[in-house]
Structure 1
Amino acid sequence: MSTKYRHLTTVDEVLELFPGIYKQRTTDFPTYAPLCRRCNKRATSKDTKKDNPNGNAGRQYYECLPCNNYLGFADARGNDRANSDCKCEPPISRKRLLVGHWDESNKNSRAGQVFYVCRHGKSGFHKFHETTEKEFVVIDGEELIAELGR
């Protein structure tokens, strides 16, 4: 069975699939470096490189240096009360993110796909978004990605 993708190329298509993407954002995110779920050491606050091509330039995130473990972004982007909950205590909604950019040269990779993680980086949860038709969702186009990142 081959993998199916649903490519979203306009804001209207994104709003059809994620109707609360702008209205339901939460501001709840870690304002302090969380503990690593692997080694229980305090994570370090870092910034993505200014030349990051994935729409994350200068974005702050948390990483456990001893484990080289990414724990999550330190902002509200992708936080949406409509996202299902992770298994943290107390349960919190997951953060919606994108994997890089999709283009014809890497169409067999996961670039541009929508996925979810624990927004506090505690549970290790990671899952790609699938439609009810079992299609993976791909966001196409740098302008659309920039619009969604506001």
Structure 2
Amino acid sequence: MHISTVADVIELICCVALNESTRAFFNSPEPRWDQLQHFRGLLPLASYPSSPMRCYHCGLTASPAVTSSSNENGNAGRPYYKCPRTGKFLVFADARGNDPRNPPCECGLSSKRMVAGRKKSRGKLFYVCRNGTCDYNRCCTDARGGKVTIDWEILDHLVHIQII
């Protein structure tokens, strides 16, 4: 499934079924991205690590870091934790994408929804451990098992309301 409209986001990510007239309303020539804030507010985001955790790669305390201001994947200035030995990314240190309805990771907690930014899999939605304490990584799939991707043009809207 490819997400490119407000109605797509509401149905798949916000888990709200739309009838045809409501779908037409959200898919009008003037997209109503501001309406998504209402749907996002129906369910509070799950917690996130506010202090460094133990790295699952090396066992040492994770190092805090911040993405560069030139990051073009919607993550500029975003805090995260990384492995102190390898510098490998562990998890973003914020609530973005922490929907309690996301599938559980290997720790038993709801996961964090993220979007791939690399050219090879650009726009692919996936889940990771929201606490950065296991190496959980799973593709987001629709009801038929197909991989879910987003239209890169809607990324800023989804970041703004913390869906990804």
Q: Output the TM-score relative to the length of structure 2.
A: 0.77
Q: CA 1:25/1:111 → structure 2, altered by over 3 Å: closer, same or farther? A: farther
What's 1:110 paired with? Answer: 121
**5+ unaligned residues in a row in structure 2: which ranges?**
16-38
Which structure 1 residue ranges, 4+ long, deviate > 6 Å from structure 2?
none
> Which stretch shows the higher mean deviation, 20-29 or 56-65?
20-29
Return the letter of the residue paired with 1:111: R
Is residue 123 of structure 1 aligned with residue 134 of structure 2? yes
Give the CA deviation at 1:86: 1.3
Task: Report the Cα distance in structure 2 between the residues aligned to 1:85 and 1:147, rounded to whole angstroms.
Answer: 25
What's 2:24 paired with? Answer: none
> Contact 2:63/2:82 (CA < 8 Å) preserved in 1?
yes
Is residue 146 of structure 1 aligned with residue 163 of structure 2? no
2:78 to 59, 66, 80: 59
Give the CA deviation at 1:27: 4.6
Task: Report the Cα distance in structure 2 between the residues aligned to 1:11 and 1:60, rounded to whole angstroms.
Answer: 28
Task: Report the Cα distance in structure 1 between the residues aligned to 2:134 and 2:152, rounded to whole angstroms.
Answer: 31
Give the CA deviation at 1:132: 2.4
> Contact 1:25/1:77 (CA < 8 Å) preserved in 2?
no
Give per-residue Cα distances to partners, 1:70-118, cap 9 Å, x unaligned: 1100000000011011121xx21000000017xxxx5xx2110000000
Is residue 93 of structure 1 aligned with residue 110 of structure 2? yes
> Contact 1:25/1:78 (CA < 8 Å) preserved in 2?
no
Q: Output the TM-score relative to the length of structure 1.
A: 0.84
Give the CA deviation at 1:11: 2.0
Structure number with greater Rg is 2
Is residue 35 of structure 1 aligned with residue 46 of structure 2? no
Task: Report the Cα distance in structure 1 between the residues aligned to 2:44 and 2:7, rounded to whole angstroms.
Answer: 18
Aligned CA-pair RMSD? 1.6
Return the letter of the residue paired with 2:126: F
> Contact 1:24/1:82 (CA < 8 Å) preserved in 2?
no
Give the CA deviation at 1:69: 2.2
Q: CA 1:96/1:25 → structure 2, altered by over 3 Å: closer, same or farther? A: farther
What's 1:15 paired with? Answer: 10
**5+ unaligned residues in a row in structure 1: which ranges?**
1-5
What's 1:135 paired with? Answer: 146
The structure richer in helix per residue is 2
Helix, strand or coil at the partner of 1:97: strand
